[in-house]
């Protein structure tokens, strides 16, 4: 990965597009949302730099959730899918070398976590986490099983749509992002209070992966395409920035 | 019709949820696929500078410790250099990653970072900023990760000249950004998401 020179910070985050902190139908947000206004300031090297993750951290099966927790000769149960796409910035450029981490429930909607008590069974061959690093063009892919919907104690009968969580690092810590991917056509999407924190159908669509028949592997796996967009870097020809800072 | 600007929109954020550990600190919740959790150690060998420990708890608006938050920190080394591809001012300490990730204790919620006291880093106009650490907090109930900064209460002169601290209108809120020294090399930095002692969060 070639070194990236600081360019004067990132395009300001559009907080009319991003979800608000306080979203009462998602009940936990009520006591976990700041009430004071956020403090804005010009970004500095603290926000324009970010840790570097090399491919050497990756194991051979880190991007294969069907096999990475399975006993030898076994595999996870559920609809086999490939999830692929690109990590881009707002200028449309691919973001290479980005660490992408993902986690999800199994095909029955059960997470492998100590604090999880849903009665759906664990799959002994499914852990539910994976990671990869984007290629030179920002592309990534992984193999998994399609997660199941999952009930949660919010309203009396709330169910999460099938979803995969994503955590993404860019080239500046100001780009740090965690989000969720949904699946085209899931009827739970429009009922979910967490999806409901999104402010427009366009924002919901931005997190909804499309079935991608061009990338399916016949007689093996279907595919879904999910692009992720991180904040873009501004150009700073006119800023009072000393050489080398 | 006018032309279009054709920028993409940043992907909307969603909460990390209660099971963020599965993806970000899987070993912490008993899933041993990677052989270790990223960000557990910020040191890969002997480091330069003063080694410090920072502990704290994230509290919700009722004063209850949050036991499912994940905190990440990002900082320069003792000389003020970042272990980043974007660092153009020199070579950072090769034994210091600058990045840490803590899920907090599953019962108490207390997070711990074994790190070094950061050196000063310039503001874009050339003035020096006081030593600080960038912190980022996600959890169930937080729709978009919260950015804040950890400054040090035992750096009063540098803090008094810091370009960001000095422009805060509500100066009485500055202590919410200061890690308090509790012993030699030990600091406490609690985060309050909401209420009278609410931590200052940044739009960066």
Q: Which domains does chain B carry?
A: 51-192 (2.60.130.10)
pLDDT digits (tens, 9 = 90+) for A17-41: 999 999 999 999 999 999 999 999 8
Q: Which pLDDT does position B86 carry in this prediction?
A: 85
Whether A241 has a pLDDT exceeding 80, the answer reads: no
Distance, CA of B201 to CA of A93 (rounded, Å): 29
Chain B partners of A197 at a C-beta cutoff of 8 Å? 14, 143
Comparing alpha-carbon positions, the chain B residue that sits nearest to A14 is B10
Q: Quote the ipTM score.
A: 0.96
pLDDT digits (tens, 9 = 90+) for A111-142: 999 888 899 999 999 999 999 999 999 999 99
Average pLDDT over residues B129-156: 98
Per the annotation, the verdict on A160 as an active-site residue is yes
Whether B108 has a pLDDT exceeding 70, the answer reads: yes
pLDDT over 70, % of chain A? 92
Per the annotation, the verdict on A182 as an active-site residue is no
Per the annotation, the verdict on A32 as an active-site residue is no
Average pLDDT over residues B172-176: 97
Band of residue A6 on the pLDDT scale cut at 50, 70, 90: very low
Whether B8 has a pLDDT exceeding 80, the answer reads: yes
Whether A242 has a pLDDT exceeding 90, the answer reads: no
Whether A167 has a pLDDT exceeding 60, the answer reads: yes
Whether A172 has a pLDDT exceeding 70, the answer reads: yes
pLDDT digits (tens, 9 = 90+) for B34-47: 989 999 999 999 99
Between chains, do A229 and B143 touch, taking CB under 8 Å as contact? no
Whether A77 has a pLDDT exceeding 50, the answer reads: yes
Chain B partners of A111 at a C-beta cutoff of 8 Å? 19, 22
The DSSP line for chain A is -------S-BPPP-TTTSPPS--TTSGGGTTSS--SPPEE----HHHH--B---GGG--TTTTBTTTTTPPTT----S-EEEEEEEEEETTS-B-TT-EEEEE---TTS----TT---SSPPPTT---EEEEE--TTSEEEEEEEPPPPEEESSSTTEEEPSEEEEEE--SSGGG-EEEEEEETT-TTGGG-TTGGGS-SHHHHHHTEEEE-GGG-BTTTBEEEE--EEEPPBPP-TTS---TT-
pLDDT digits (tens, 9 = 90+) for A67-76: 999 999 999 9
Closest in A52, A62, A245 to B84, CB measured:
A52
Per the annotation, the verdict on A150 as an active-site residue is yes
Between chains, do A103 and B167 touch, taking CB under 8 Å as contact? no
SS3 for chain B is CCCCCCCCCCCCCCCCCCCHHHHHCHHHHCCCCCCCCCCCCCECCCCCCCEEEEEECEECCCCCECCCEEEEEECCCCCCCCCECCCCCCCCCCCECCEEEECCCCCCCCEEEEEECCCCCECCCCCECCCEEEEEEEECCCCCCEEEEEEECCCHHHHHCCCCHHHCCCHHHHHHHEEEEEECCEEECCEECCCCCCCCCEEC
Whether A237 has a pLDDT exceeding 80, the answer reads: no
């Amino acid at each position: 990965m070639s070194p990236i020179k600081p360019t004067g910070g990132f395009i300001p985050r559009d907080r009319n597009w991003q979800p608000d902190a306080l979203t009462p139908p998602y009940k936990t947000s009520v006591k976990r949302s700041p009430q004071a206004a956020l403090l804005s300031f010009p970004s500095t090297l603290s926000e324009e730099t970010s840790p570097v993750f090399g491919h050497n951290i990756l194991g051979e099966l880190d991007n294969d959730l069907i096999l990475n927790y399975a006993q030898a000769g076994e595999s996870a149960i559920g609809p086999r899918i490939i999830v692929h796409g690109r990590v881009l910035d707002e200028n449309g450029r691919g973001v290479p070398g980005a660490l992408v981490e993902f986690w999800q429930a199994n095909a029955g909607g059960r997470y492998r976590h100590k604090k999880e008590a849903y009665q759906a069974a664990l799959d002994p061959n499914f852990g539910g986490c994976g990671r990869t690093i984007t290629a030179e063009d920002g592309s990534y892919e992984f193999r998994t099983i399609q997660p199941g919907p999952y009930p949660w104690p919010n309203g009396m009968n709330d169910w999460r749509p099938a979803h995969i969580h994503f955590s993404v690092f860019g080239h500046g810590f100001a780009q740090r992002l965690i989000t969720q991917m949904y699946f085209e056509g899931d009827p739970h999407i429009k009922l979910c209070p967490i999806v409901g924190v999104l402010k427009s159908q366009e924002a919901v669509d931005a997190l909804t992966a499309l079935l991608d028949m061009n990338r399916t592997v016949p007689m093996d796996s279907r595919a879904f395409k999910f692009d992720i967009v991180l904040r873009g870097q501004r150009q700073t020809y006119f800023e009072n920035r000393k050489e080398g800072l | 019709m006018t032309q279009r600007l054709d920028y993409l929109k940043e992907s909307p954020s969603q909460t990390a949820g209660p099971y963020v550990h599965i993806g970000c600190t899987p070993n912490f919740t008993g899933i041993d696929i990677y052989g270790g959790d990223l960000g557990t150690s910020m040191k890969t060998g002997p480091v330069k500078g003063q080694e410090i420990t920072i502990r704290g708890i994230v509290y919700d608006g009722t004063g209850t410790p949050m036991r499912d938050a994940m905190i990440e920190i990002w900082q320069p080394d003792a000389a003020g250099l970042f272990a980043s591809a974007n660092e153009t001012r020199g070579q950072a300490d090769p034994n210091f990653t600058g990045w840490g990730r803590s899920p907090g204790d599953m019962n108490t919620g207390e997070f711990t970072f074994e790190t070094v006291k950061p050196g000063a880093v310039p503001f874009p106009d050339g003035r020096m900023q006081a030593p600080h650490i960038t912190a980022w907090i996600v959890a169930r109930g937080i729709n978009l990760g919260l950015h804040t900064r950890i400054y040090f209460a035992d750096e009063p002169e540098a803090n008094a000249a810091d370009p960001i601290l000095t422009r805060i209108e509500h100066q009485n809120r500055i202590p919410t950004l200061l890690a308090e020294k509790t012993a030699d090399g030990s600091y406490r930095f609690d985060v309050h998401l909401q209420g009278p002692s609410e931590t200052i969060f940044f739009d960066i």
